[in-house]
Amino acid sequence: MSETSYQPAFDELVKWATPEVRQAELLEAKAEFFALTGEIFDDDRQLEMRMASFLEHYVFDRVSPHRGRTPAMEYFEKVKVEDPARANVFEGFTQTLHGLYEVRKLGKGFVRVRELFDGEDHEVIERRTLVGLNKGDLVTARLIPFSDGLWFSAAFCYHPPGAFKSILKEVKRRRKQEPTRPRTELIYDCARRSLKADRYRQIAIEKIYDFVNPTV
């Protein structure tokens, strides 16, 4: 297996996790995910990225009600028994970091980001030039431990520059007033608002990302 990208291992995991016998569960998971993050339509600009986000959610995050584990955990345990030499690659898929990240620095071969909830900085290996990504941007992203560090997954959710202050303020409020509330709730809420920002360009970003007095 190539040590230059997690993609072959991810493709292997997805193929194993989405056989015909699991189609009913896959459809159930899809309905759950888009109820949380906003219904997607064929003409949405975010269609491809949202489908990638769903697939990652399904294999990395969603605990199966039938088996009590995520597909990533199931497959890691399977590989650990059958082929221990490869197990560390799949273990990384059980430890992904999904969060709201501020882009702090774009360097040669890396991007430094800060997770808003815990304030922790992460240096992410990135050999591509990420079009449209700039210092100060806020994105929902997933970091995957692989080989020699952390890598971005394929799925991003970009939030408009005008949304940064509102999101950060809501993060601080929840951290102080609702510390036990799952941070995934805000991640999903921001995903819904990102879709609205794309669809309703005539509405001010500040109104779309108003967490105190939502009007749209």
DSSP string spanning 32-87? HHHHHH----TT-TTHHHHHHHHHHIIIIIPPPTTTSS-HHHHHHHHHHHH-GGGH
Distance separating the N- and C-terminal Cα atoms of the chain: 47
Place of tokens 């890396």: 110
Q: Which long-range contacts does 146-149 make (Cβ < 8 Å, 24+ apart)?
A: 146/5, 146/6, 146/9, 146/89, 146/92, 147/3, 147/4, 147/6, 147/89, 149/123, 149/124, 149/125
User: How high is the pLDDT of residue 3?
Assistant: 52
50-108: pLDDT as tens digits: 999 999 999 999 999 988 999 999 999 999 999 999 999 999 999 999 999 999 999 88
Domain coordinates in residue numbering, the chain = 7-92, 101-158, 161-208
Global confidence as pTM = 0.92
Tell me how far apart the alpha carbons of residues 56 and 53 are, in angstroms, rounded to a whole number: 5
